[in-house]
C-alpha cells in the first residue's frame, strides 16, 4: 500500500496563514526575472541509460497550477518552489545561456567566438546531456572550448561527461579550469563526497526529501533547485588548469574571463567569475536567491560566514559598478546594475550579520542553541526574498558560526560528557515512566506544541523502539513541523522522520560515492578512504604490510601498513612487504576496497599477486562494511 501522509492540523493551517504577514508576498520581481529570456521548454524527460526516468517536468504541475500555498506547505517555501518549478532554456544576456530546473543545479553556457564555455555541469550526466542537446538545437553547435568548475561540490562537476569527453580533456583540446591547485580541488571534491559519503548520503536523503512523494504533503522542491535526482550517473574529470589568486585571467573561445579566488567560503575551493565584454558576473554559490548553509545538514565542513561577506564585498569593489547581470549555478539571474548591486550587498550583509551577532552572543555567554533562538535578521534583510532560508536557515546557521569559531562543545559542562542517546532515553523513561511520557507527548501534540511533543517522545522511542503508539504520535508531530517549516531541508528531515517512524527504513537510491568519483580519487585519498573502513579494535594487534603498484601510473608504488589499529600509506615500495599487488588503478581500487574478492581479480588476469596471498584475506577480516540505510529516528540495532 502506498504511503499516505496525514493532512495539516488546524493549528498548522493557522500557523501557515499567520506566516503570510512576515513575507513580502506582493513583491513579484523574482517571477519576472525567472521568466525573462525563456527560449525553449524541456523537450523530454531526463532518463538513465536503461530508460529509468529521473526527472519529468510534469511531476511539478501541481505546484505550477496552484498559486496559493496548501495548508501543508509554508507559504514562503511554496512561493520558492513555484519559481523552481519553471524550467527550460533561457538567454540571460548576450551570449550567456542557462538550462535551469531539471536538476538541483544549473548548466550555464557562454558562447564565445570559437566555441562554448560551460560553467558548472549540473549533478548528473543525464541532465547535462539534455542541457547540451538544447544548446545545440537552439543556440549554437560550436564545440565546447572549455569547462569551468566554480567550486568543489558534486552538483557542479557531476555532469561533466555529459558536456565533454574524457579524451578531449586528456588530449588538452578542452581545458577544465577550477579554483585552487588541482591537487587541492581533487582532494576536496572527492574527499568530501566519498570519505564520509555513506553518512552524507543517508543524511542527504532526509534533507532533500528523496524518500518522500512529490506532492503537497511531501517534497515540493529542494529550495536551491528543483530536486535531487534518484540514481543519476555522477561523473568526474580532474581540472587541468587552476586559479589560485584573484585577478587571474584566461582567454577562452575569444572572450576574457577574470577570476576572484574565494577559498573557504561556501566550498573549500571556490571562485567568482567576471566576463568584462558581456558585463556578466557570477559569485558561484556565495550569492543565491536563498540563505546558504554555514554548515550543511547533509554533513560537510563548517564554512566561514565572515569570508562569504568578505569576498562578496571584494567583488562589489572590483566589478560592482559595471555588472549588468548576475547568474548563479542555482536559482535565477539578477538583471540591471542597480539590482545586481543591491542583491550582492544584501547577501554580504546577511552573512556578516549572522557571523557578528552569533559571536556577540557567544561573548555574552550564550550557547549556540540559546543564540539561535534569539537572533533575527533586521527587517530590511529578513524580508528580502534572497535572504530567506531555502537552503540554510538562520537558526542552524547561527549555531554553525559557533561551531566554526568555538568548536563542538557548547560551553555547558553538562554537554561535555553526556550519556549516549539510547542510555539517556532509558534512564529518563525509567525515572518518569512510559505512561507519563506518552501522555505528555499526546497532550503536547493535541495542543499544537509539536516541538515539545517530538522532544519528550524521543526518550520513549529510543528507550523502547517497539512502542508503536509513541512512534506514531511522534511521527504525527514531526509531520506538522515539516508542514510549517520554511526551509525545505528542515521540511524534508521532519517529513522523512515521520515516514520512517510509521513504515520503517526505506532503502535510498542516492549515493555520493559514485564509481567515477572513487576511481578519480588521488592515490593518497584512496588510502584514506580505505582507512575509514578499518575496524580499529580488531586491527589493534595486526601487523600487515601490502605494496600496491599502479601499472598505469608510471609504475608508481605505494606501501600500505596496519599496526596499532591504524592504516597508513606512503609512496614507495617496502623491502619487507608481505604482498605486492600490481595492476591498473581501477583493478587496484577494487582489490583494496574488496580484498576478499582480489583472488578473483588475479585469476581473471586483472592484477598480479607476489608474496603471501593470504594477506588479502587478513585485510578483508579487518575491514568494516557500511549500511547505507542506518537508523536515524530509532536507535541503531
- 268-294 pLDDT, tens digit per residue, is 999 999 999 999 999 999 999 999 999
- 397-444 pLDDT, tens digit per residue, is 999 999 999 999 999 999 999 999 999 999 999 999 999 999 999 999
Which H or E element spans position 257? strand 255-261
Q: What order do you get walking across the sheet with 543-550 strand by strand?
A: 566-571, 556-563, 543-550, 579-583, 608-611
pLDDT at residue number 194: 78
Secondary structure, 3-state, 560-610: EEEECCEEEEEECCCCCCCEEEEECHHHHHHHHHCHHHHHHHHHCCCCEEE
Of residues 489, 121, 482, 478, the one with CA closest to residue 298 = 489
* Alpha carbons 502 and 472: distance in angstroms, whole number: 6
- Record the pTM: 0.95
* Alpha carbons 255 and 113: distance in angstroms, whole number: 7
Mean pLDDT of the region 225-252? 94
- Is residue 396's pLDDT more than 70? yes
- 485-535 pLDDT, tens digit per residue, is 999 999 999 999 999 999 999 887 555 566 677 777 889 989 999 999 999
* Alpha carbons 418 and 407: distance in angstroms, whole number: 17
Using a 10 angstrom Cβ sphere, with 0-12 exposed, 13-18 middle and 19 or more buried, the burial of residue 126 is buried
* Alpha carbons 539 and 619: distance in angstroms, whole number: 9
- 522-567 pLDDT, tens digit per residue, is 899 899 999 999 999 999 999 999 999 999 988 899 999 999 999 9
* Alpha carbons 348 and 328: distance in angstroms, whole number: 15
Report all structural domains of the chain as residue ranges with CATH numbers, in order of start.
Answer: 10-382 (3.60.15.30), 522-622 (3.30.1050.10)
- Is residue 634's pLDDT more than 80? yes
State the average pLDDT for the chain: 95
- 28-51 pLDDT, tens digit per residue, is 999 999 999 999 999 999 999 999
Helix/strand/coil for 552: coil
Amino acid at each position: 500500500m502506498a504511503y499516505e501522509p496525514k493532512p495539516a492540523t488546524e493549528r498548522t493551517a493557522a500557523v501557515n496563514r499567520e506566516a503570510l504577514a512576515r513575507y513580502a508576498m506582493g513583491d513579484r520581481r523574482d517571477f519576472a526575472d525567472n521568466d525573462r529570456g525563456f527560449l525553449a521548454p524541456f523537450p523530454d524527460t531526463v532518463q538513465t541509460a536503461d530508460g529509468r526516468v529521473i526527472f519529468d517536468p510534469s511531476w511539478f504541475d501541481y505546484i505550477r497550477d496552484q498559486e496559493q500555498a496548501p495548508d501543508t506547505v509554508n507559504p514562503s517555501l511554496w512561493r520558492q518552489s513555484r519559481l523552481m518549478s519553471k524550467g527550460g532554456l533561457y538567454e540571460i544576456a548576450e551570449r550567456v545561456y542557462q538550462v535551469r530546473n531539471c536538476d538541483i543545479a544549473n548548466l550555464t553556457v557562454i558562447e564565445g567566438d570559437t566555441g562554448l564555455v560551460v560553467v558548472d555541469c549540473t549533478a548528473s550526466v543525464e541532465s547535462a546531456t539534455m542541457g547540451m542537446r538544447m544548446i545545440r538545437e537552439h543556440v549554437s553547435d560550436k564545440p565546447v572550448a572549455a569547462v569551468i568548475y566554480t567550486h568543489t561540490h558534486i552538483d557542479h562537476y557531476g555532469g561533466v561527461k555529459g558536456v565533454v569527453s574524457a579524451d578531449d580533456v586528456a588530449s588538452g583540446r578542452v581545458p577544465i579550469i577550477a579554483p585552487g591547485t588541482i591537487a587541492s580541488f581533487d582532494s576536496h571534491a572527492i574527499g568530501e563526497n566519498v570519505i564520509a559519503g555513506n553518512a552524507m548520503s543517508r543524511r542527504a536523503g532526509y534533507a532533500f526529501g528523496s524518500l518522500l512523494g512529490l506532492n503537497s504533503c511531501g517534497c515540493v522542491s529542494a529550495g536551491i533547485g528543483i530536486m535531487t535526482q534518484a540514481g543519476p550517473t555522477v561523473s568526474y574529470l580532474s581540472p587541468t588548469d587552476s586559479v589560485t589568486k584573484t585577478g587571474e585571467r584566461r582567454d577562452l573561445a575569444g572572450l576574457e574571463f577574470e577570476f576572484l579566488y574565494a577559498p573557504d567560503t561556501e566550498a573549500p575551493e571556490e571562485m567568482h567569475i567576471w566576463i568584462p565584454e558581456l558585463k556578466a558576473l557570477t559569485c558561484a554559490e556565495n550569492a543565491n536567491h536563498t540563505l546558504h548553509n554555514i554548515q550543511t545538514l547533509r554533513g560537510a565542513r563548517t564554512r566561514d560566514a565572515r569570508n562569504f561577506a568578505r569576498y562578496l564585498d571584494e567583488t562589489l569593489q572590483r566589478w560592482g559598478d559595471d555588472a549588468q547581470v548576475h547568474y548563479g549555478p542555482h536559482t535565477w539571474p539578477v538583471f540591471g546594475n542597480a539590482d545586481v548591486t543591491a542583491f550582492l550587498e544584501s547577501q554580504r550583509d546577511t552573512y556578516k550579520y549572522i557571523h557578528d551577532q552569533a559571536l556577540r552572543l557567544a561573548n555574552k555567554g550564550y550557547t549556540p542553541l540559546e543564540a539561535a533562538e534569539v537572533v533575527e535578521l533586521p527587517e530590511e534583510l529578513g524580508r528580502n526574498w534572497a535572504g530567506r532560508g531555502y537552503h540554510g536557515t538562520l537558526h542552524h546557521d547561527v549555531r554553525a558560526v559557533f561551531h566554526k569559531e568555538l568548536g563542538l562543545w557548547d560551553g555547558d559542562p553538562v554537554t561535555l560528557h553526556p550519556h549516549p542517546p539510547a542510555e539517556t532515553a532509558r534512564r529518563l523513561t525509567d525515572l518518569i515512566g512510559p505512561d507519563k511520557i506518552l501522555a505528555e507527548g499526546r497532550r503536547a501534540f493535541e495542543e499544537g506544541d509539536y516541538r515539545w511533543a517530538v522532544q519528550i517522545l524521543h526518550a520513549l522511542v529510543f528507550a523502547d523502539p517497539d512502542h508503536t503508539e509513541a512512534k506514531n504520535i511522534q511521527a504525527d508531530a514531526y509531520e506538522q513541523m515539516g508542514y510549517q517549516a520554511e526551509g525545505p531541508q528542515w521540511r524534508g528531515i521532519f517529513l522523512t522522520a515521520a515516514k520512517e517512524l510509521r513504515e520503517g527504513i526505506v532503502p535510498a537510491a542516492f549515493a555520493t560515492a559514485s564509481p567515477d568519483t572513487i576511481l578519480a580519487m588521488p592515490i593518497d585519498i584512496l588510502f584514506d578512504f580505505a582507512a575509514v573502513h578499518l575496524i580499529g579494535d580488531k586491527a589493534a594487534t595486526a601487523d600487515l604490510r601490502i605494496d600496491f603498484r599502479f601499472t598505469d601510473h608510471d609504475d608508481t608504488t605505494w606501501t600500505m601498513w596496519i599496526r596499532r589499529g591504524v592504516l597508513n600509506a606512503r609512496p614507495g615500495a617496502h623491502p619487507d612487504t608481505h604482498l605486492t599487488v600490481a595492476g591498473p588503478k581501477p583493478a587496484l581500487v577494487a582489490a583494496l576496497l574488496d580484498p576478499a574478492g582480489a583472488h578473483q581479480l588475479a585469476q581473471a588476469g586483472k592484477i598480479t599477486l607476489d608474496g603471501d596471498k593470504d594477506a588479502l584475506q587478513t585485510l578483508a577480516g579487518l575491514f568494516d562494511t557500511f549500511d547505507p540505510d542506518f537508523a536515524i529516528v530509532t536507535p541503531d540495532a
